[in-house]
Structures are given as C-alpha cells and as structure tokens.
Amino acid sequence: MRIFVLGVGATGSYLVKLLTRQGHHVTCGDRDPERARYFLGAKLPVPVERVNARDVWNIVKAARGAQLLVNACPPMLNRIVLRAALRLRAHYLDLASHYTGHPFRAEQVEFASRFEEKRRAAVITAGVAPGLTNLLIAAGADLLDTVESVRVRLYESTDTDAPFSQWSAEASFDEAVARPRVYVDRRFRFGRHFGDRELFRFPAPIGPVSVVLAAQDEVITVPYAISMKSMDVKSGGSDIDRLRKWYKQGRLRKSRGPVASLFMRTPTPRTIHKLLRRRILHNAHFAASVIVEGIADKCPTTVRWDAAVPSLFLLRRQGLLCSPIAWATARMAALFIKHFPCDQFGVIPPESLSIDIRRAILRDARARGFRIVKHVASRARRDL
C-alpha cells in the first residue's frame, strides 16, 4: 500500500519504520523536516517533505498518489487532514480526537457520509488509549449478553529529575484543560477536572494508584456503538499528578496555550539517550485496565482486561529510544493499518470494526510485545 504519514515526531517516526518493515511504500511530511530526520535516523531512506498541516492543498500536493493518509499530527488538525484525505480519495487513519464542535461526539464523525460517498474508510482514534482500550471494551462486551458499565483506568508514570513528557506538548495540554466526559444513566455529562478520585489496583508491579477523571476519547465513541448504562475513564501516575498540581495552581489556561516551561517538546531519540546517560531520566511506564460489567447467562459478570507495555528501560535494552506511550501508539496504529478495513466505508472507531478484525489486531498485539491478560468473574444472581 502507498502510505503518506503526516507528522514525524516520536510516534509518527516509529510508525514509519514499522510500516516500512511491513513492506508498504511510505513517504511522509512534517513542518520541520530537519527535526523529523532526527526522529527517523540517517539509515532510513524515507523522503520527508516540508508540509504545512494547516493547509489542505499543501497536504494534497505532498501526499498525491497515496492510498492511505495517516494523521500523526496533534488532534486539533484532524478536520483539515480529513478534508485532504477526501480530496485525495484516500483512506484515512488518525490517533485521537479533539474536543471541538459537538461536546459529546468525536469531530471526525461529521465526515462519515462524505467518506461513504467516496467509498473510503476513515479509522479514527487508532492508537493505544484510545485504540487498544476500545478493542478491549468491545472484546469484553462480546462475552456479555448485556453491558451495564465500562471503566477504563490508565497509568502514566515517568521517573525523571527534569521536565519530561511521554505525550507531545499539545496532547498533554489538551488532556489537562479539556473537561472530562462521562456517561451516566445513558446520558453524556461533563465531569470535574481531575475529579472523582479513587484508589485503583493495577496489576503488579504497579499496585494501588490514585486515579482521577480524564478527558479521553473512548467515552465519546464507545457508547454510540455498544449499549450500556455508564462509562468513565480515569488516569493516575506521576504524569497525571503533575498536570493536576499545575491545574490547581492555576497555571493551565486554555487561552494561554501550552506554556513552554511546563510542556516540553517531544524529546528526540538523541535527547532521550542523553538524559538516560546522564541519569536524569530513569524510567517510564504505561498500563491500561478495562473493566466491563454486565449480564452473561443471566448471571452478573465482570470482564477485566489488563494491558501493559515495555517500560522505557526495557525498550532501551531492545535498542529503542522512545517512550512506552510512543512505542505502544505506533505499534497499535501499525496493526490497525495491517488489518485496515478497505471494504468498510465511512468513519470507523475501533469498537465498530468487524469482530474478525478486532480479534486479529488483539492477537497480533500480544505477539508484538503487549502483555494482555483477561479475567472473567461471574456470580449467581439472587432471586428477589
């Protein structure tokens, strides 16, 4: 497949490498080709064009001939890149939504009819969280007759003596200032910023972690595809604690944008190597748990999925200088592309893919370094 990747940062560059290994013909574009080369490395002979992702025609010119346009840019650019994909008559894939327009629906959905008319597929939020988490929710729902509730719990932690973020500055800032969405009694609502704290037990070696409401895309796509009564997403770990502290101090304001002193640029592999060598950056972790509760065979049943990815320390031992989140997001995006639904048209979040595709992606994720464990617990229903 001829693929154009727009946005060659920590995630986009690793995705380019994975797609090249899969045998695709890959080209890419970025606003800063010189910096993109630092991420790609000198040994990868993939052309990088200078592209202004805020200009539809600039994207179209650079990506002409592509069968798939991959949007690895900050989600605020989604609408522009979607329009470019339609102009190109190309399939489309992105990694996250941006909280604009309708407050309780992903903005990509408004392009559904146009992709159907072009007989093209737009797979959205196809990363790790969202992305993998959506697949796990759907896999849990497949085991139940009816779904009552869904809970997603994320762990993001970085052990460092200097400012460092696993996400891009734009993604971290968006997560910090956006109001969390929750689904309660079959209705969408706004949650409190960093509110509803609870103690959640992740699998060892993480253990109990304080988690709070987070602005995550799963809540604004999954309830449209899977009938349920309630859903929320909460995050915990040092990265979330730092954002919560800044928010309480009044240092995060949407009107100000991401302050450079708080939200650092995505570190290049060279920067990560330097920080590790100087023992400023020690380790980083990411994990996700998905709990789906409902009824199976007339019994209350809970399906729990726990997913973990290699730590920064383990990735370094493999010769990879990227954060666990960048590694996991790129790996999952590559699998969504490997199993891309070319014969399914419209805008498609992960939970709306066919069951065969969803199972194939999860099977491949396990084979490529994701540790995914399932627990199912049922109890006899009491007759009242």
Q: Which tens digit of pLDDT belongs to each residue from 56-74?
A: 999 999 999 999 999 999 9
pLDDT of residue 101: 74
Cα–Cα distances in Å, from 323 out to 22, 54, 72, 326, 377?
Answer: 22, 27, 16, 5, 34
Beta-strand ranges (E) seen in the chain are 2-6, 25-30, 48-50, 68-71, 91-94, 121-123, 146-160, 181-184, 187-190, 198-202, 207-213, 230-236, 281-296, 299-308, 346-348, 371-378
pLDDT of residue 261: 54
* Each residue's pLDDT tens digit, 6-33: 999 999 999 999 999 999 999 999 999 9
CA 1 centroid distance within chain? 23
Instruction: Sketch out the chain's domains with CATH numbers.
Output: 2-94 (3.40.50.720), 132-321+370-378 (3.30.360.10)
Beta bridge partner(s), residue 283: 159
The answer, yes or no, to whether residue 374 has pLDDT greater than 60, is yes
The answer, yes or no, to whether residue 367 has pLDDT greater than 50, is yes
Q: Pick the residue with more confidence: 384 or 6?
A: 6
The answer, yes or no, to whether residue 259 has pLDDT greater than 60, is no
Instruction: Give the span between the Cα atoms of 150 and 294, in whole angstroms.
Output: 9
* Each residue's pLDDT tens digit, 283-305: 999 999 999 999 999 999 999 99
Instruction: Give the span between the Cα atoms of 147 and 141, in whole angstroms.
Output: 6
Q: Which two tokens stand for residue 53?
A: 């992702």
Stretch 262-281: mean pLDDT: 82
166 and 177 in contact (C-beta within 8 Å)? no
Stretch 97-120: mean pLDDT: 92
Q: Kind of pairing, strands 346-348 and 281-296?
A: unpaired
Cα–Cα distances in Å, from 289 out to 133, 314, 354?
Answer: 8, 21, 22
- Residue 308: pLDDT band (50, 70, 90) is very high
Q: Which two tokens stand for residue 7?
A: 């946005």
324 and 285 in contact (C-beta within 8 Å)? yes
Instruction: Give the span between the Cα atoms of 289 and 19, in whole angstroms.
Output: 28
pLDDT of residue 381: 59
- Residue 45: pLDDT band (50, 70, 90) is confident
Q: Pick the residue with more confidence: 383 or 77?
A: 77
Instruction: Give the span between the Cα atoms of 74 and 263, in whole angstroms.
Output: 14
